[in-house]
Amino acid sequence: MKTTTTLILLVLLCAAFVAAAEVPSLTDFEQFYGSIADLPNGTFTLKAVLDGSDFTTSVADDGKYGYEETFKISGSGDEIEFFAVDAFGNETLLGSDTYGSGDVTEFNFQFGEVVSRSVSAGVEDAGGSRPRSNATENATETCTMSWVCGDWSVCRINSQTRTCQRNDNCAALLDNGTVDDVIATAKPLEQQSCGSEVTLPAKVCQADQQRCSGIQLQKCSADGQQWQTVETCPGTCDSLTLSCKEPVVQQPAAEPAGFPSWVIPLTGSVVLLAVIIVLVLFILQRRKLAPAKEYVANSREQGYSDSQIRSRLVSQGWDSKDVEKMMK
């Protein structure tokens, strides 16, 4: 019994020793970096498929991948397929490559064209270059800094400028062990003197100067190249005070001095009163003469002459003028 137990323990110890001796590999992957040319506008990710497993990494705005974020692919398959995936999940095949464990590979794509290549023992096919380095070996390569500069600006005050930026991946290659040294190069000049300046148009006015142009109050632009209307005056623009004046309102002509306002109503009242008095007197006169007129009419019917009737009325105290009126 003890012998059997001892044998079992020995077998377990041997298995544990063998397992401990098999240290997991730290280089069982292939690292990719590069760029995707002619990538449409939008957000994209790069997807790699190896033996049914998916690996993704982000793509920068300039189309580069594998620089800021390390892109590692591992598995047991032979061929890797690469896809560009947009924000809506649409996939576009970019190309394929043979899986090489332990390699660091630069793989550049052209969006819309499928690039397929295979590399065996460092032999390249027509698909393009594929520099590789074995991560298990000590790096002996160097990387030299490179720069790209924009155009020079317009010459102003005998000086012009431009902007220069790094255009290499030395930092990424140094981090992943592809190179062991970076050769620094001086940054190109970003400012230089220039002999001739661009002739600017002559100024038409002094900055912030004001003037009156008709009914418009104008102010000179900051660059002195043009007059700008500040306000259109409703009346006139005063060139002395450089301000707008309100339009002059024509006052109605004053009426000539005449009678007081109470004279006309009073005159009308007096005239009306006089008319009323005349009418009353006329009515009273007619009423007074009515009996005498009736007497004249009756006397004439009885055959008396006008002279007889006139004499009788005068003798009764009637006024001779009234008698003459009644006789008519």
* Rounded Cα distance, 27 and 104, in Å: 10
CA gap 97, 151 in Å, rounded: 38
Output the pLDDT for position 293. 75
Domain boundary among 199, 218, 237: 199
User: What distance, in Å, lies between the first and last C-alpha atoms of the chain?
Assistant: 189
Specify the pLDDT at position 283: 80
Residues 157 and 120 in one domain: no
Here the tokens at position 7 are 């044998």
Pair 241, 312 in one domain? no
84 burial type by CB count under 10 A (0-12 exposed, 13-18 middle, 19+ buried): buried
pLDDT of residue 68: 86
Beta bridge partners of 211: 218
- The DSSP call for residue 257 is P
Residues 34 and 151 in one domain: no
Contact status, residue 242 vs residue 230, Cβ threshold 8 Å = no
Query: For residue 180, how many C-alpha atoms fall within 13 Å in the half-sphere facing its CB?
Result: 7
Does 84 map to a domain?
A: yes
Calpha distance 54→69 (Å, rounded):
16
* Reduced 3-state DSSP string for 180-217: EEEECCCCCCCEEECCCCCCCCCCCCCCCCEEEECCEE
Measuring CA to CA, which residue among 94, 91, 56, 95 is closest to residue 72?
Answer: 56
> Which residues make beta-bridge pairs with 212?
217
The whole-number pLDDT of residue 78 equals 83
The CATH number covering residue 46 comes to 2.60.40.1120
Whether 126 and 182 map to the same domain: the answer is no
Sign of torsion over alpha carbons 87, 90, 96, 97: positive
Q: At 262, phi and psi to the nearest 5?
A: -85, -10
Token look-up 């002559």 returns 202
Residue whose entry in the numeric block shows the structure tokens 């006015």: 205
Residue that has been written with the tokens 């290549």 in this structure: 117
Please report the pLDDT score of residue 12 as a whole number. 55
Neighbours of 57 (CB within 10 A): 19
* Secondary element (H or E) of residue 139: none
Domain that holds residue 324: 298-328
Query: What stretch of H or E contains 240?
Result: none
49 and 13 share one domain: yes
What pLDDT score was predicted for residue 82? 93
Dihedral sign, Cα of residue 292, residue 296, residue 297, residue 299: positive
Residue from 86, 34, 85, 81 nearest 62 by CA:
34
- 179 and 215 together in one domain: no
Residues 216 and 321 in one domain: no
H-run or E-run covering 238: strand 236-238
> What's the pTM value of the predicted model, to 2 decimals?
0.34
- Tokens linked to 87: 């924000």
**Are 70 and 30 spatial neighbours (Cβ–Cβ below 8 Å)?**
no
State the total domains in the chain.
Answer: 4
Q: Which residue, of 136, 171, 191, is where some domain finishes?
A: 136
- Is 26 in the same domain as 131? yes
Question: pLDDT averaged over consecutive 10-residue blocks of the chain (328 residues)?
Answer: 54 49 59 91 91 92 90 87 90 89 88 71 41 45 88 88 89 84 86 70 83 89 86 87 80 65 81 87 74 78 81 78 74
Reading the block at residue 31, the tokens are: 């690292």
Gyration radius of the chain's alpha carbons: 62
Residue 322 lies in a domain: yes
Cβ atoms < 10 Å from Cβ of 66: 25
- Boundary residue ending a domain (136, 157, 187): 136
The answer to whether residues 236 and 175 belong to one domain is no
Q: What's the pLDDT at 46?
A: 93
Taking the C-alpha atoms of residue 224 and residue 205, their distance in angstroms, rounded to an integer, is 5
Phi-psi region of 242 (alpha: psi -120 to 50; beta: other; left: phi over 0): left
